[in-house]
Structure 1
Amino acid sequence: MELRHGHVGVRPLRRRDAAEWARLRKANAGWLGPWEATLPREAGRPATSYAGMIGTLRRRARRGQAMPFVLTWDDQIVGMLTVNGITWGSARWASLGYWIAESHAGRGITPTAVALVTDHLLGTVGLHRVEISIRPENQASLRVVAKLGFIEVGLAPRYLHIAGDWRDHRVFQVLTEDVPDGLVARLDQPS
């Protein structure tokens, strides 16, 4: 499955993306470092290779728990968006996490990708709620949820282990009934 709006595309992460993904991550290590999820000491060692990471993500995807995507600009990989914690039953929700290369930040790629994936989750997949959790000091990500009209539902103290410590996050959500025409339609409306 591939989602597209203008120059922005979202498609599944593939094994053959390894070299491009590694190049992009290396080139953006300083840019992404302050926001990078880490494992606390007691959680063990993280996957240290692309193959290990994609293997873990693909296993979770086969179990219906995750959807790993790359973000593209004119078919060039410029970031990643992962749907995590997919929950079915009476909850029917998931959370999104994403990153974009510094060279492509500020072009509207991330909001467009988030809108495309959220519309897919709320429409095609049939979830009811999509959540994004953001560190309070991450102004770029806060602009993404503001632009799309996600609603803040609270502060989660020490929510996620990032850059070596437990960090607070602001939690935002969008519900199916909040966006009957979808989020991509919001992007196309005049300001």
Structure 2
Amino acid sequence: MELSLPREHGPISIRLIKSRDSRVLQQALLDNRGWLEQWEATSPDGVVSLDMRLGIRRLLQQYRDGLGVPLVMEYDGEVAGQLNVWGIARGSLASATIGYWVSESFAGLGITPTAVALATDLCFTELRLHRMEICIRPENAASLRVVEKLGFRYEGLRRRYIHIDGDWRDHYAFALTREDVPYGVLERWVSGQAPRDAANIPLADRNAAAPES
């Protein structure tokens, strides 16, 4: 895949991850353990070592195989976090899922919603995907605000969906299709046209996925 990267909006940009990003990303993950640990994917088979160089090699291989697009989020040229497009399916499904993390020091600057919008537009226009999904733990209020801002549509509760922070966790699923945003996710958001209630979660699902104590 040859994609038009980087993409940017103001001081915020996304670009393809590089092998030389391993040191700064690994340090960011270590520095933000308390901030990120409760949202990190884990393995039911036991502890997995944090080797960012190996992780980047695997992500870039998935990119070469057409299965994902591993991106770095930057603010004024400084690495702020990661955004991964993963699980790319072609053919009749033509879909993918987005996951991301941002360093605590960059929180509140609009980086994540902007990067998600840029990445979704990239997938719709250049990868010609039809549907993009984001799955979020009920406890993750910051990520829920991202899909609310961008007008992602709530599509249901996935019980014990992903192994996170040592156990199988419920997730809310949100999605957009290409028809939802004919002029792009970013344009719809910055022009104030994103629907404000698309990401609303029914009370029954909120109760069924009550945050764990």
TM-score after normalising by structure 2: 0.86
* TM alignment of 1:33-182, pairs within 5 A: 33-41=37-45, 46=48, 48-182=50-184
Deviation, structure 1 residue 190 = 4.4
Question: Any stretches of 5+ residues in structure 1 without a counterpart?
Answer: none
In 2, are the aligned partners of 1:112 and 1:187 still within 8 Å (CA)? no
- Distance in 2 between residues matched to 1:151 and 1:72, nearest whole Å: 26
- Distance in 2 between residues matched to 1:178 and 1:140, nearest whole Å: 23
In 2, are the aligned partners of 1:47 and 1:53 still within 8 Å (CA)? no
Deviations 1:15-64 (Å, cap 9, x if unpaired)?
111221122111111100000000111xx663531121011111111111
Deviation, structure 1 residue 107 = 1.1
> What is the aligned counterpart of 1:4 among 3, 8, 22?
8
Q: How many residue pairs get matched?
A: 189
Q: Counterpart amino acid of 1:71?
A: M
Deviation, structure 1 residue 4 = 0.5
- Distance in 1 between residues matched to 2:92 and 2:139, nearest whole Å: 33
Q: Counterpart amino acid of 1:40?
A: P
Question: Any stretches of 5+ residues in structure 2 without a counterpart?
Answer: 194-213
Q: Does 1:18 align with 2:3?
A: no
Change (3 A) 1:129 1:20: same
- Distance in 2 between residues matched to 1:54 and 1:23, nearest whole Å: 14
- The runs of at least 4 aligned residues of structure 1 exceeding 4 Å deviation read none
- Distance in 2 between residues matched to 1:174 and 1:129, nearest whole Å: 6
User: Is the partner of 2:162 in helix, strand or coil?
Assistant: strand
Deviations 1:115-141 (Å, cap 9, x if unpaired)?
000001011110000000000110000
TM-score after normalising by structure 1: 0.95
- Distance in 1 between residues matched to 2:191 and 2:185, nearest whole Å: 10
Deviation, structure 1 residue 150 = 0.3
State the identity as a percent.
46
Cα-Cα RMSD: 1.3
Q: Counterpart amino acid of 2:23?
A: A
